[in-house]
Amino acid sequence: MPKEVIVAGVTVDPVTKSPIVVLRDPESGNVIPIWIGLLEANAIALALEGTELPRPMTHDLMKSILHATGTRLRSIEIAEIRESTYFALLHIEGNGESVHVDARPSDAIALALRCGARILISETVLAQSSIAATVASEGGEMDKWTELLEKMDPEQFSKYKM
């Protein structure tokens, strides 16, 4: 049974300088970091900030197509990891049918944020990639992902605007 997660934020890997979307299990606090592309990080950051652009970006267009065709994005699911690559599914409903469409996790997340759809992660992926939210009882040190997110200036989330 897939588990619902939230997008904790977008940050940058301090070593590789690659963008990372950080998902968080709201129950356990565990995080799932997924390295993504720069354009996708920007799309996710814009959605997190609620920024509306004068012209539709790709994910805005996808949302409009769903609406125009009488379908809706029910949820997305980070479904599996194969050879260090994450795979996601879009769960779309409409016209009395339910379909599952293959997608990159970053695109699926960007679309889910725009559509208000649930973000799910399979138990298998959660077990393979979850990082425990560890808070040292004496020192109060947070795990590295929480620390990275808290150090991020909100301006950095969208510094790569197009």
pLDDT of residue 130: 85
pLDDT of residue 14: 86
Residue 24: inside a domain: yes
d(CA 152, CA 104): 25
pLDDT of residue 82: 93
Residue 87: inside a domain: yes
* Residue range of the domain that includes 37: 3-157
Domain count, the chain: 1
Is the per-residue pLDDT at 162 higher than 50? no
pLDDT of residue 60: 95
Phi, then psi, of 4 in degrees rounded to 5: -80, 135
